Amino acid sequence: MRAGEVLVQGEDLGAWTMAQRVGWDALTPAQQWMLDSVLGLEPVGEAEQPPARRTQADR
């Protein structure tokens, strides 16, 4: 386990949270509402966008 990592039933909550925020537009309105209303999550902002993944060809 890495420092600062929080696991619940084997799931890294930090990674899960970021995945929800990055993929916000792919979520249903009900899912967005739940994340916002219950957990206080919002979609990632411009400054928080993770770097684009490089393909094998790019490397």
Supply 40's token pair.
């206080």
Decide if 35 is inside a domain: yes
Decide if 58 is inside a domain: no
Find tokens 């990592």 and name the residue: 5
Statement: the pTM of the whole predicted model exceeds 0.75 = no
Residue 28 has pLDDT above 90, yes or no: yes
Decide if 57 is inside a domain: no
Decide if 52 is inside a domain: no
Between 41 and 10, where is the model more confident? 41
* Domains in the chain, number: 1
The reported pLDDT for the residue numbered 19 is 93
Decide if 50 is inside a domain: no
The reported pLDDT for the residue numbered 4 is 67
Average pLDDT over residues 17-33: 95
Domain that holds residue 11: 7-45
Between 18 and 1, where is the model more confident? 18
Q: Cβ atoms within 10 A of the Cβ of 20, count? A: 19
Distance CA 31, CA 54 (A): 29
Decide if 33 is inside a domain: yes
Average pLDDT over residues 13-17: 92
